[in-house]
Amino acid sequence: MTISSFNLNVLEDYLIMNLHLESQRSLNRIMSSIDRSQLSKTDMAVFEARLNTEFPRLFELLFQLYGHRYDFYYYLQQLVDTLAQGYSQRSRALKSKDKKRLNEPNWYQSQNMLGMACYVDLFAGDLVNLQNKIPYLKELGITYLHLMPLYDVPKGDSDGGYAVSDYRKVNEQLGSIDDLKTLAKALEKAGISLVLDFVFNHTSDEHRWAMAAKEGISEFAEFYHMFDDRTLPDQYEHNLREIFPQVRRGNFTWNEQAKKWVWTTFNSFQWDLNYSNPAVFNAITDEMLFLANLGCEALRLDALAFIWKEMGTSCENQDKAHTLIQAFNSCLQISAPAVVFKSEAIVHPDEVLKYIDKQECQLSYNPLLMALVWESLATRKTLLLTESMRKSFAISNNCAWTNYIRSHDDIGWTFDDAVAQKLGINGNDHRHFLNQFYTGRFAGSFASGVAFGENPSTGDCRVCGSLASLAGLESAIQQNHAQNIEHAVKRILLVHSIILSIGGVPLLYSGDELGLLNDYSYQQDINKKHDDRWVHRIALTDSAIEQASHPQAAQYKISQGLLHLIKIRQQHAIFGQAETQILDSDNSHIFAFARHNNQGKTLLVLCNFSEFEQHIDSKIMDQLYDSTGNELITQQDIRCPSGYLSLQPYQVMWIV
């Protein structure tokens, strides 16, 4: 060790020791002045115990963000007051849930976990009627319900609810906060965890903070990134990408009332919050605890990659973005530890992994799996899927993927170009092919999709469409082609079988369980026609449910096939907490993986992504105890006297 490195290590140890000492001093000062009247003696004891445990971490994180400011300790005191108030407002039932979840921290890894994401209005009309849908959810096996943004938003375009005007008010078309609280209690009684969106990168320009900023009130102008002229925005723009280039160019919007340029990453009416201001962190923590106290058990962190801005960078996935999220996580551990974070990072696979940690986001969408399942359907090859999952699927045993095939959003091809290159695949060319295939521009494609966000400069785009339409059911029905319909149904069940078995929380998107097709009516709505994502934001009607009850209908085969898979998952612990091992199948059309749990059980999964029969060497059965097994879906015993296994077109095998 050199003298310089020794001195650096000593300095580092000194700073860490001093931070720890200073955190203790700060906490002692804060606790001496905290208002104890808002908490009972029992609750105060619980709060203090959690605060003592968590404060050193929280202090260090906040010091990294704001320690250079003269008013750091003022905001720290204010934050602890907010945390105490948030805990005091937590119901007795939710405090009991906190205790329960602390005793079973990996509750989201159970084989009984099955999620659904839906828009309240499209699924049930409003929050009151959604209670009447609970039996439907129970019959399907749903234990986790993600309600898409339901907060107060501007009239007209609101980016599908992601332009929040008031976190504490429900969109009046959906009901009221009291309706949401009542629904949360009903879901809890039914054993269904409520998941809400935490839209914390931006507010709408009609939020009271933004309205005050427009009026020139400096306290709230500092809640956003506002500039007198284009000097700084132009410097930032050199490194920023455009999210919705089909709607507008650039990342800044001129506001005539404020006479300022405002940072607006997504839409001109969505103003990015300024997290370099500790007042913003405290204010958003207060909103977060309000949402937690409604009764949700998970918060989806919307657009988390964008929350920290740094000149000379892309302003995505910055180190301090992670610091911020960890600090929010720490606040929850103190005031509402039953609530977990779900990361929505639709970025490079290596960056996605950085958000997943028990002390950051316990859950994370798995955009890589989603994109490459669609890639494998298009190419009939599983090499890129296999290599990518081998590199990027493994995460902490204390965390879980949220695996999905479709969502409210578009499909972006966020695979790793380096992995693709090793397989002889040019990333840019392959993305172009996939866009062409899934928007029906490639000869022989089975898909009926719509291009979204098409960049007029580069021709790049993303893909929209319902699962059934992208999987070929729409075109097959239009052609009245029996075999194509059969293949489409098998594709739909194939992709669902993967998210149900590979490990994590499988998340269905409302309507996919019935094979709903694209809804093109949005093209006649002035507030929606510019946003092609509405093509797969489809209302769940009584007629759609009724259609799925007819045995001759493709929708019946989808719904019954999916129910069959779900029931199998619920009956076997191996689908829950277990290690996933991605396997070489020695057949480029077959995706293979095994799962092993602590009870000595193994599950072998084989998926044929081709419309033709495929064979695989029986040596793959060596994953099982005696190289024989039972196939759970068909209830057939598996023996391989011929030396190979045969899989029918789009067949899946779950072998134990």
344 is catalytic: yes
Q: How far apart are CA 112 and CA 568, in angstroms?
A: 10
β-sheet bridge partners, residue 583: 592
Burial of 164 (0-12, 13-18, 19+ CB in 10 A): buried
Nearest one of 479, 466, 464 to 516, comparing CA atoms: 466
Is residue 179 annotated as a catalytic residue, yes or no?
Answer: no
Beta strands in 136-191 (DSSP E): 144-147, 151-152, 166-170
Rounded to the nearest 5 degrees, what angle is found at the Cα of 301, between the Cα atoms of 469 and 221? 120
The one catalytic residue in 344, 357, 360, 410 is 344
Cα separation, 480 vs 460, in Å, equals: 33
Reported for 444-448, long-range contacts at CB under 8 A and 24+ positions apart, including other chains, are: 445/378, 446/471, 446/472, 446/475, 446/476, 446/484, 446/487, 446/488, 447/378, 447/471, 447/472, 447/475, 448/472, 448/474, 448/475, 448/517, 448/518
Beta bridge partners of 341: 299
632, 654 in Cβ contact below 8 A? yes
Each residue of 80-107: b (16+ CB within 10 Å) or e?
A: bbbbbbbbbebeeebbebbeebeeeeeb
Q: For helices 3-33 and 72-88, what crossing angle results, to 10°?
A: 50
Give the tokens for residue 562: 């999916």
Contact 572/379 with Cβ under 8 angstroms? no
Q: Which of 112, 147, 173 is nearest to 505 (CA)?
A: 112
- How far CA 157 is from CA of 249, 468, 500, 525, in Å, comes to 18, 27, 35, 10
- Helix/strand/coil (H, E, C) string of 216-254? CCHHHHCCECEECCCHHHHHHHCCCCCCCCCCCCCCEEE
Catalytic-labelled residue, pool 121, 197, 302, 316: 302
Cα–Cα distance for residue pair 227/224, rounded to 1 Å: 10
SS3 content of the chain, % helix, strand, coil (to 5): 45, 15, 40
Instruction: Cite the active site residues.
Output: 302, 344
